[in-house]
Chains A and B, each alone.
Chain A
Amino acid sequence: MTRRARVLVAAWLLLLGACGLWLYRNLTLTTDLSAFLPPSATPAQRILLGQLRDGAASRLVLIGLEGGSEDTLARASSEIAHRLVASGLFAYVSNGAAGANRRDQAVLFEHRYLLSPAVGPERFSVRGLEAALAETYRLLGTSAGVLVRATLPADPTGEMAQVLRQLVPEGVPDTRRGVWFSRDGGRALLVAQSRAPAFDADAQRRVVRTIEQAYAATRPAAGRLLLAGPGVFAANIRATVDSDVWRLSLLGAALVLAILYAAYRSAAILAVSFIPVATGLVVGVTAVGLGFDELQGITLGFGVTLLGEAVDYPTYLLMQARPGEALGEALARIAPTLRLAVLTTVLGALAMALSSFAGLAQLGVFTVAGVAAAGLATRWLVPAVLSVRPGSLAAGKGLAWLDRLAGAARRARWPAAALVLGALALVAWRHDRLWDDDLSSLTPVSASDKQLDRELRAQLGAPSLRYLLVARGASREAALQASESMAAWLGGAVRRGWLSGFDVPSTYLPSERTQEARRAALPERSVLAARLGSALRDSPFRAGAFAPFLDDVARARSGPLLDMRDLGGTAIAFKVDSLLVRNEDGWNALAMLHAVSAPAELAKKASAQGDEFIDLKAESNALVGTYKNQALRYIALGLACITALLAFALGSLRRAARVVAPTLAAVAIDVGLLLLLGKKLSLFNLVALLLVVGVGLNYALFFARRHVDDEDKRRAQRSVVVCAGTTLSAFGCLALSRIPVLHEIGVTVALGAVLSLLCAAAFAARPE
């Protein structure tokens, strides 16, 4: 190694070390969807993300137990509930057992006069008391008499029943042996709410493991544990993703290594050829870390995909050196082309880096920094550290077919052109059905899991994840008041059959205004006693039986209003917390909706009432659509810049066209083939196509490069073939994945690599 080389290597190590240290100290990786949030996000979209990230519904775990007698299942249900509570991982666990919510019931009973919607001035007039007592007497004669009787002396007007009536939604599960069961009795049901958000796959895996262990501890004979909910699916997907990524990357890496080893016949060269991409990765992540508060998981995923191009850079250099030629000399020949290869990608990504869309800007910065660093490492570092002289591939006579292939492709350029026209026609014909912005079509959650989720959700009467109503207020009190007026019209909607029920925060914690009105409606003790006396005169109840009632009303009348402190530690507090959320737009009262059957009517009524109806699916699809459209715009801008750069560097627009045209042709055919395979394009295909453009431009550049002789030309072609081979191997393996996203990216890039090679050979090569 020369002195200069040693300085270079030292500087490089220092840079990597500094980046590594900085990343170790400062990097925070987030995996939520806020990367998709455009700067012009509506309040609804911000609530959507908050809900997806941390919402009550998104943290629900639905649990079913099957196989075993009713008795066994009920016992297992209680034991599991007990263990889950003890684990501390859950904010809320319920299997329907009364004992579990006895404290909730006690809190509700204590505050029944502030919570009951029936409380008003009329309720405690002589006539109101007479009516309430008559109703209570009627109930005493029914099968519910035993329950009514238990609280009769303290609650003769039945306020507790009024409170409970609005709490329990229609369609709660059956109770058998004291715990929830499905209607057919074959499945015990539990519901839990994890403290960890749904997207935290690691935490969710702990949640799932804890439930499985709790189940195993009940020593089930032949039973089955069923789990569903967003967090559970996140955990399951994570497991599949991990195993798939690990397996397929290993396979891909093995194939890439095999190809490169066949090309170089030297382990040292092989090792050195990975320096640029590794450098690019570290520098790219650091650049994003420096420029933004946190790194989005999606940036990392897409960025690594786009950085795939950097694996090719050393290949171009190492493959095009003549046998025995020092890399420095070879560089003199190919450096201008290599520089263009790097610059085109940097320029393309630069447009994206200027986007105001955080997710896109991050991806742009990552690519610009990563690719530039990889390019510089190839230009300076690789020749510095590699004293071995490459070029052994030149001896490989077995590769002559590669050269013939290039020739054949060149002759096939008219059929290829026809293919491009065909693909363009197909794209034009399908232009309105080209894109699919529905992320759920790419979800790796299996159809059977989705079915199970629907089933358990219906059996448990859990709210739907899709629809949400929001009433806003500047303060907590204002939001609660808004929640009350929302509940009023929702009650009408339930009677019309638009939905089966709803959950709003003001049911559990009425606004102060409402509570004050109810408290003010409670008469003074002596007044109430006198009225009760009159009401009892002609009633079947004995006078003097209701002293506890007089005491409780007096206490409520002089007592404080109900606030969150009173609810502390109950499931009710948790409900209020998750339904009353604060964000940058103020306070939001959310209504969870059960079994929505008429979303359009609800939406219309909501907007008339000044509330907001959110279709989470439509909103998230709109977000993805916006992201995609923005990306398309920046890609178009990037392509224009690239063409301008090429025209400037190559000296003419015609020469630039010879490089750009084959790339676009490859993209067109790629898209055409994807459509023929029955696919629609998603955001993920788009990013994959971006990589196709990146590598395709390089292929075309090296095919179109001015070659000094035939040998030089052959080397250039072979280097491109090797690059296409490695890309095909790596992404072809990804195409085998069970994860739809990985599969899509894999198929698109693998096809794209082959097509780019063929199109470059057909259109970019200089005429003989």
Chain B
Amino acid sequence: MTTGTRILAEGAAAVLAAGLLSVAVAAPRLDASRLMQTLAGVRSASASFVETRYSPLLKSPLVSHGTLSYRRPDRLEKIVVSPHQERIALHGDRLTIDSPPAGRREISLDAGTSGIATLIEAVRATRAGDLARLERDFDVVVSGTLDDWQLRLKPRAADVGQYVSAVGVWGSGPRLQRVEVWEASGDRTVMEIDEATD
């Protein structure tokens, strides 16, 4: 499994991560609790999103879109409508993935399930402004200003780190704008969010 590509990709991810980290350190510090307070004030939110996977294996980036919806305190739903339908719902501690035609069975790796759950949880906990929850799963670095903030999340668990190197979340005030995931494989996914909050 340890192929040249993999090592290269991991190296690239590490360089990327280091770069981001220096940006974060250089930026004027935004108070994390203040940001979380702002985020926690949101009762519900809905958005459409466009997610793009950039991969050296693909001739062109893989683009999918759909909708995101959030309801305080712990409901997050992601519905992908194109190119394939999928519904991922996180409610409390239950993660449901309906992925026709095969359903949940296709991702029945134990570690995998928790890896996916961690990614979804990253978005939900950020949306909910739940810093404690975020810090349970990630090393969290906050940077920017309240109007233009960035969260950098580095997975703490080894079995998640095996797949995901880092997650970045960008936003403005109470709104989420972009979620980026740097995968250990070298791929990067970027989710652009057009969010309306309430």
Please list the residues of chain A having a beta carbon within 8 angstroms of any beta carbon in chain B.
Answer: 71, 96-99, 101, 109, 137-147, 149-154, 161, 164-165, 168, 172, 174-176, 178, 183, 185, 540-542, 545, 547-548
Contact = CB atoms under 8 A, between A and B. Distances in A.
Contacts of B185: 146, 149-150, 152
A696 B108 CA distance: 67
B164 to A, nearest CB: 7
Interface in B89-106: 93-94, 97, 99, 105-106
A145 B185 CA distance: 11
Nearest to B112: A147
Select the residue from A97, A140, A145, A152 with max chain B CB neighbours within 10 A: A145
Interface of B: 1, 3, 5-6, 53, 55-60, 62, 64, 78, 80, 83-84, 86, 88, 93-94, 97, 99, 105-117, 119-120, 136, 157-159, 162-164, 181, 183-185, 187, 189
23 contacts: A71-B136, A96-B110, A97-B110, A98-B110, A98-B114, A137-B62, A140-B53, A144-B107, A144-B116, A146-B163, A146-B183, A147-B115, A152-B57, A153-B6, A154-B3, A164-B108, A175-B113, A175-B114, A541-B57, A541-B59, A542-B58, A547-B3, A548-B1
Contacts of A153: 3, 5-6, 57
Which 5 pairs between the two chains have the least Cβ-Cβ distance? A98-B111, A144-B107, A147-B112, A545-B57, A98-B159
A121 to B, nearest CB: 24
A99 B109 CA distance: 12
A545 B56 contact: yes
Nearest to B107: A144
A162 to B, nearest CB: 10
Contact of A540 (B3, B58, B181): B58
Contacts of B106: 139, 144, 161, 165
Contact of B119 (A97, A146, A150, A161): A146
Contact of A143 (B83, B105, B116): B116
Given A154-B1, A540-B60, A146 B181 contact: yes
A175 B158 CA distance: 15
Given A141-B53, A540-B62, A547-B3, 10 more contacts: A98-B110, A99-B159, A141-B64, A142-B80, A142-B99, A143-B99, A144-B107, A154-B1, A541-B58, A545-B5
B179 to A, nearest CB: 13
B186 to A, nearest CB: 9
Nearest to B1: A154
A142 B157 contact: no
A149 B187 contact: yes
Nearest to A160: B109
A140 B62 contact: yes
A745 B94 CA distance: 52
Contacts of B136: 71
B121 to A, nearest CB: 11
A549 B116 CA distance: 25
B189 to A, nearest CB: 8
B62 A150 contact: no
Nearest to A146: B163
A175 B110 contact: yes
Contacts of B111: 98, 178
Contacts of B55: 140, 149
A140 B51 CA distance: 12
B115 A146 contact: yes
Contacts of A147: 107, 109, 112, 115-116, 163
A546 to B, nearest CB: 8
Contacts of A140: 53, 55, 62
B7 to A, nearest CB: 12
Contact of B116 (A98, A146, A150, A178): A146
B57 A142 contact: no
A109 B55 CA distance: 23
Contacts of A175: 110, 113-114, 117
B8 to A, nearest CB: 11
A141 B112 contact: no
B1 A109 contact: yes
A138 B116 CA distance: 17
A185 B84 contact: no
B100 to A, nearest CB: 10
Contact of A165 (B64, B108, B112, B158): B108
A178 B157 contact: yes
A143 B97 contact: yes
A473 to B, nearest CB: 30
Nearest to B136: A71
A146 B165 CA distance: 11
A149 B1 contact: no
Nearest to A137: B62
